[in-house]
């Protein structure tokens, strides 16, 4: 991994070297971050980026729910926003939410304030920053349907406000200005009934617990659903439910989930990903596209 040619800028948050990343991902696997930065707040993050060396690799993590960190770790600096960029506020029907706020918190906040539309976020085990980056969705809802504007920052600390028209939004896909990262979003929601919203969230969470292996470490859905198809159905049709490599297993409850049964490595999980891709391609002629993001280097 790269050695620093100049010192990193001072911070008010925490900046440490050689930090194991397994504890920062929901799969509970992966190597170390060469450097890991947890900003004290938005301003601390901006000041850090303003002084960041140009050649320093930069990786962003929220709750680590849609990412596989390879066993060899991640070079450069990993910025963790979860629990740090945590402002969540309301003005009329506009909700301002920073990137580190868990999606489930956003769902509950909106419901308690009589706003409807964000209930589906209760089923997304990540942060708002991650939801914006991939147009996360669940139970028929999608993030960018409700986005009025976003705030971004680049690696030089320049902050911009952008509208949805600056992005190409698709199914689990967001393409926009390169080199910018989401700091926050303004959501415009509908008036709703508090009781109805809370019941809807309870129903969605109960459905999630029935249909997904929530008691095991996992990343959420591994693959995007092909047009008109279900990735889980294709994988199950190949007879892969329950297949294991090391401590990793294709869930018997939902075939688009890979779980860590204990002691799995990132290589075990990646092996199952490639197995599922190969089997589905051979039987159906469909190349499954990843929903999970794979980062870092192999061991």
Check residue 7 and give its pLDDT.
79
Question: Could you tell me which of 195, 75, 178, 80 has the C-alpha nearest to residue 126?
Answer: 80
What is the pLDDT confidence band of residue 1, given thresholds at 50, 70 and 90?
low
Question: Could you tell me which of 131, 138, 141, 140 has the C-alpha nearest to residue 174?
Answer: 131
What is the pLDDT confidence band of residue 92, given thresholds at 50, 70 and 90?
confident
d(CA 214, CA 196): 25
Q: Which residues are catalytic?
A: 172, 221, 291
Q: Per-residue pLDDT for 269 more than 70?
A: yes
d(CA 234, CA 147): 32
What's the mean pLDDT in 116-136? 96
Q: Per-residue pLDDT for 27 more than 90?
A: yes
Question: Could you tell me which of 66, 65, 59 has the C-alpha nearest to residue 19?
Answer: 59
**Mean per-residue pLDDT over the chain, rounded:** 95
Asked if residue 240 lies in contact with residue 275, where contact means CB atoms within 8 angstroms, the answer is: yes
Q: State pLDDT tens for residues 40-72.
A: 999 999 999 999 999 999 999 999 999 999 999
Domains of the chain: 94-149+162-210 (3.30.465.10), 231-295 (3.90.78.10)
What's the mean pLDDT in 271-285? 98
Beta bridge partners of 48: none
d(CA 100, CA 83): 6
Q: State pLDDT tens for residues 199-255.
A: 999 999 999 999 999 999 999 999 999 999 999 999 999 999 999 999 999 999 999
Helices within the chain (DSSP H only): 42-50, 103-112, 128-134, 194-211, 231-237, 266-284
DSSP secondary structure string for all residues of 102-123: BHHHHHHHHHHTTEES-GGGGG
Q: Per-residue pLDDT for 180 more than 90?
A: yes
Q: What are 281's two structure tokens?
A: 């391609």
* 19-54 burial code (b ≥16 CB/10 A, e <16): bebbebbbbbbbbbbbbbbbbeebebbbbbbeebee
Q: What percent of the chain has pLDDT over 90?
A: 94
Asked if residue 137 lies in contact with residue 120, where contact means CB atoms within 8 angstroms, the answer is: yes
Q: Per-residue pLDDT for 6 more than 80?
A: no
């Amino acid at each position: 991994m790269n050695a620093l040619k100049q010192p990193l800028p001072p911070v008010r948050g925490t900046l440490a070297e050689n930090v194991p990343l397994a504890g920062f991902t929901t799969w509970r696997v992966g190597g170390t971050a060469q450097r890991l930065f947890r900003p004290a707040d938005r301003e601390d993050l901006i000041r850090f980026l303003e002084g960041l060396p140009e050649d320093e690799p930069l990786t962003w993590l929220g709750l680590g729910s849609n990412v596989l960190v390879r066993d060899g770790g991640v070079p450069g600096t990993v910025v963790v926003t979860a629990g740090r960029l945590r402002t969540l506020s309301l003005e009329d029907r506009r909700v301002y939410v920073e990137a580190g706020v868990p999606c489930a918190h956003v769902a509950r906040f909106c419901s308690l304030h009589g706003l409807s539309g964000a209930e589906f976020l209760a089923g997304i085990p990540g942060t708002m920053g991650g939801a914006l980056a991939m147009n996360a969705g669940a139970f028929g809802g999608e993030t960018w349907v409700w986005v009025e504007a976003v705030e971004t920052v680049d690696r030089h600390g320049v902050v911009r406000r952008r509208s949805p028209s600056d992005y190409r939004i698709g199914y689990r896909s967001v393409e926009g200005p390169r080199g910018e990262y989401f700091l926050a979003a303004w959501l415009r929601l509908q008036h709703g009934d508090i009781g109805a919203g809370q019941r809807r969230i309870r129903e969605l969470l109960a459905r999630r617990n029935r249909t997904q292996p929530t008691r095991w470490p996992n990343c959420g859905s591994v693959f995007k659903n092909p047009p008109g198809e279900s990735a889980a159905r294709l994988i199950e049709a190949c007879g892969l439910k329950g297949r294991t490599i090391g401590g990793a297993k294709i869930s018997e409850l939902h075939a688009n989930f890979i779980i860590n049964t204990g002691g799995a490595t990132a290589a075990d999980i990646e092996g199952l990903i490639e197995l599922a891709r190969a089997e589905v391609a051979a039987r159906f002629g469909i190349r499954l596209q990843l929903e999970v993001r794979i980062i870092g280097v192999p061991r």
